[in-house]
Structure 1
Amino acid sequence: MRAGAALCAGIAVWLLGAASCFAGDRLNILCGVDEAWCMTMQQAYEARTATRINMVRKSTGEILDQIRAEKDAPAVDVWWGGTGDTHLQAASEDLLQAYTSTRETDLLPWAQNFFALSGGRAAGIYAGALGFAYNSELLGKQNVSAPNCWKDLTSPSYRGRILAGNPTSSGTAFTMLATLVQLFGEDEAFAYMKALDRNVAEYTKAGAAPVKAAARGDALIGISFMHDAVTQKQAGAPLVIVAPCEGTGYEIGAVSIIRGTSRLQEAQRFVDFALSPEGQATGFQAGQNQVPSNARASLPAGAPDLSLIKMVDYDFATFGSPAERSRLLARFDADVHPPSQ
C-alpha cells in the first residue's frame, strides 16, 4: 500500500514538472505510454546516462498534431511510445529522422519489418493486442450476460455501460477503427460502430482510460489494449479480459527521432536505450505488460500470449497512411459520433 501511494505521489510530482515548458538544455521527449512507464523510463535513462530529460505524456493523436504544428521549428527531440501506425503517418510526412540503431539486429521479426516499413524512421519497441475487459462484480450486480465478441457489445443490455477511446486523439481507438474495417469491411464496420455508439457512455482522450474506469467500477466494459487491462487486474481489479471471438488487431508501439532536432546524437542514444533489454525492462518495472521487441528482453509474466489470440493480418502500410487516417476519422465524425456530441 505504501509503495503504491509513493508511486502515485511520484507520478503527481512528475506530471507537475512535465506541465512546464520544454527546457533548452535537456532532451525533450513526448511519451505515448502510461504515465507510470513515462516516469520510470525517465528515471532509468537519467540514472544510466546522467543526462537530464523532459518527458511529457500525451495521447498519440495529440503528439502527431504537435509534431506537425512544430515541423518548421521542432521543440521536441524524440517521440517514445504510442501506436505505430501514427508514427508511420509522421514518417510519410517527412517529420521523422532516419536512424538505424545498433540494437536493431536484436529485435524480433515483427519489429524489424516495422522498421523497414517506416523507411528506417521509426523502431518498434513493444506489441499488444486489442480487446476489452468487463468488471465481473458489476456484471453480477446488473444481471447481464458476459460479452465474448465484438458484436456482443451492441446488445441493448449494455446501454450507457461501455467506455471507448476517441480515435481522433487515441491511437488505441484508431487501432480499433482500423481493426473493425479489416475484420468486417468498411461499411459493415461503420454500421457496427454506429450501433456500438448507442452503448458508449463516453469517448475518452486516452486509450487506457476505458479499462481503468472499468477497474474502478465507473464503467461495466472498457475497450482497450489487453495489456492495459492486465495491469489493472494485477493491481486487484475484478476484470475479465476478452480477446473478441471474431478476431482482433494489434499495435506496434514505436520510438522515433523528430526531424530537425538540434540534439541528434543524444536522441540517438535515447533510441538505443529504448531498444535495449535494460530500457525495455522499464515497462515491467512500471507494471506494464506489453510484449517487448528486443529478443533478449524478458517477457512480462502477465503479457498476453499473442500466439493464442485470433489476429487480423494488420495492414500497417494502409492504415499508417495520412490520407487513410484522415478519411476514416472524417467518416467516424460524420457517421458515428459528431464532434459536437
Structure 2
Amino acid sequence: MYKRFLMLIVSLAATLALPVQAAQTLVVYSSGPASLARALARNFEQQTGAKVELYAASTGKVMARLAAEKNHPRADVVILANWTAGLALAEQKEVYPFHPADIAKRLRPALDTQGPFLPIGGDTVSIVVNTKKVNDLQSLDDWFALEGKAWHGEVTMPNPLLSGTASDFVLAFTARYGDRAWNYFKALKAEGTIWPGPNAAALRPVELGARSAMLSAVGHTSLKAKHKGNSLALVFPKSGTVLIPRPILIMRSSHDKALAERFVRYSLSEQGQKLVSSALLIPAVSAVQPASIWPDLSSVKFINADWQKLAAHRTQVLERFRRDILGQ
C-alpha cells in the first residue's frame, strides 16, 4: 500500500514538473472596422482556445507596418480594405496561397475575384452629403458634380494613401477617365477640398456640417454615422461605382499556417459572416445578407474593375496622387 502511494506521489510530481504548454498565438493585422476585427478575434479565441494578438489600423498603416517588419515578419493573417493592396503583397511573394474550392463556391460572384486569397466581405463608395446643407440630391448623380464655385470649401475626401477603399477608387476612377479624372482632382484641390485622413476623419466635417459633401465615402462608415442619427445621405452616381472586395490573406511567413487557415475558415463561416454583416460590410458568402440599413444594391450600377490590371499600376498612381494632388 505504501509502495503504491509512493509511486503515485512520484508520478504526480513528474506530471507537475512538465512544462505547461502555452496556448497557440495567432497574430492578426486588420484594417477597419476595428470592431469587426475584435469580434472575430474574441469569438475565435473562445472556439479554439488559441490567443489572437490583434493590430487594427487603417490600410495605409497596416501596409506600412508590414513593410517595416519585412525582415522580421510577425503577422500570420492580414485583413485589408482593398483588393489591390492584397495583390501587391502577392506580387511581392508574401502571400501563402489559400483559396479552397469548398469556400469559393459559397462566395458572392461579384466578390470572388482572382487572387491567392479570399474576400472576407466587400464595400462600395459613394458621394455622401449633409442633407441640412444639400437638398438637391438629383444634381449629384455624377462623380464630377462636386466641381464649381458652389462647392468651394465644401468637399472632403479620404486620403488614398491611408484609406484602402479610397485608393482603389482612385485607381478605378483614373483608369476609367484618364486625364479627366486627374484634372478633376486638381480642380477639387483648387476649390479647397481637404484629405484629412482615412474615412472617419474625412466624414467628420460632413457629419458636423462644417462641410457639405464627401467624395469616395466608404459604405460601412457612412451608414454607421447615418444610423446614429446624423443628417447624411448616400448618393451613388448613375455612371457607376465600384464594389471593392476586402481580402483576408495568410502571410507566407506565418509561423502557424494551420491555425491561420482555421481563422480564415472561421471568418468565412456563417457565424463569422454574420459578424461581417453586423459591421455593415457586405458579406462575402452569398447565404448571409447585408444589414438592412444598406440601400437596395440591385439598383446601384457597379462597373467592372480589372483588379489585376489596376494593381499593376497601384504604386505609380498613388505616387502621382501624393505628388500632384496632396503636394507631398
TM bucket (normalised to shorter chain) is 0.7 to 0.9
1:198 corresponds to = 190
What SS is found at the alignment partner of 2:134? helix
1:333 corresponds to = 322
Q: Which amino acid aligns with 1:168?
A: L
Structure 1 position 282 matched with structure 2 position 284:
no
Q: Is the Cα contact below 8 Å between 1:61 and 1:86 reproduced in 2?
A: no
Aligned 1:84-95 pairs, distance under 5 A? 84-95=83-94
Aligned 1:109-148 pairs, distance under 5 A? 109-112=109-112, 114=113, 117-118=114-115, 120=116, 122-139=117-134, 147-148=140-141
CA–CA distance in structure 2, aligned partners of residues 231 and 246 of structure 1: 25
1:7 corresponds to = none
Aligned counterpart for 1:295 among listed residues 256, 278, 286 = 286
50-59 or 208-217, which deviates more: 208-217
1:57, CA displacement in angstroms?
1.4
Aligned counterpart for 1:164 among listed residues 150, 157, 168 = 157
CA–CA distance in structure 2, aligned partners of residues 29 and 219 of structure 1: 36
CA–CA distance in structure 2, aligned partners of residues 124 and 35 of structure 1: 17
Structure 1 position 252 matched with structure 2 position 251:
no
Aligned counterpart for 1:305 among listed residues 296, 301, 315 = 296
Report the CA distance shift for 1:190/1:252 in structure 2 as closer, same or farther (over 3 A). same
Q: Which amino acid aligns with 2:214?
A: G
Q: Which amino acid aligns with 2:105?
A: T
Q: Is the Cα contact below 8 Å between 1:227 and 1:304 reproduced in 2?
A: no
Structure 1 unaligned blocks of 5 or more: 1-23
Q: Is the Cα contact below 8 Å between 1:134 and 1:240 reproduced in 2?
A: yes
Q: Is the Cα contact below 8 Å between 2:85 and 2:164 reproduced in 1?
A: yes
Report the CA distance shift for 1:145/1:161 in structure 2 as closer, same or farther (over 3 A). farther
1:10 corresponds to = none
What SS is found at the alignment partner of 2:195? strand
Structure 2 unaligned blocks of 5 or more: 1-22
TM-score (norm: length of structure 1): 0.82
1:146, CA displacement in angstroms?
5.9
Q: Is the Cα contact below 8 Å between 2:24 and 2:50 reproduced in 1?
A: no
What SS is found at the alignment partner of 1:137? coil
1:220 corresponds to = 212
Q: Which amino acid aligns with 2:58?
A: S
Report the CA distance shift for 1:51/1:40 in structure 2 as closer, same or farther (over 3 A). same
1:189, CA displacement in angstroms?
0.9
User: What RMSD in Å do the two structures reach over aligned CA positions?
Assistant: 2.4
Q: Is the Cα contact below 8 Å between 1:44 and 1:282 reproduced in 2?
A: no
What SS is found at the alignment partner of 2:194? strand
Q: Which amino acid aligns with 2:199?
A: G
CA–CA distance in structure 2, aligned partners of residues 26 and 49 of structure 1: 11
CA–CA distance in structure 1, aligned partners of residues 242 and 99 of structure 2: 27
Q: Is the Cα contact below 8 Å between 2:80 and 2:86 reproduced in 1?
A: no
CA-to-partner distance for each residue in 1:241-287, whole Å, 9 max, x for gaps? Answer: 100233222210110011111121111111001111111111333xx
What SS is found at the alignment partner of 2:153? coil
Q: Which amino acid aligns with 2:109?
A: P
Q: Is the Cα contact below 8 Å between 1:290 and 1:303 reproduced in 2?
A: no
Q: Is the Cα contact below 8 Å between 1:183 and 1:247 reproduced in 2?
A: no
CA–CA distance in structure 2, aligned partners of residues 214 and 45 of structure 1: 36
CA–CA distance in structure 2, aligned partners of residues 45 and 218 of structure 1: 41
What SS is found at the alignment partner of 2:80? strand
2:98 corresponds to = 99
Report the CA distance shift for 1:153/1:123 in structure 2 as closer, same or farther (over 3 A). same
CA-to-partner distance for each residue in 1:146-186, whole Å, 9 max, x for gaps? Answer: 633211111222222222111222212212212322332x2
CA–CA distance in structure 2, aligned partners of residues 139 and 81 of structure 1: 33
1:149 corresponds to = 142
326-335 or 99-108, which deviates more: 99-108
CA-to-partner distance for each residue in 1:54-99, whole Å, 9 max, x for gaps? Answer: 2211221222232233233211111123111110111111111112
TM-score (norm: length of structure 2): 0.85
CA-to-partner distance for each residue in 1:90-136, whole Å, 9 max, x for gaps? Answer: 11111111123442332122333x2xx21x2x211212221121111
Q: Is the Cα contact below 8 Å between 2:120 and 2:267 reproduced in 1?
A: yes
Number of residue pairs matched by the alignment = 305
Identity among equivalent pairs (%): 22
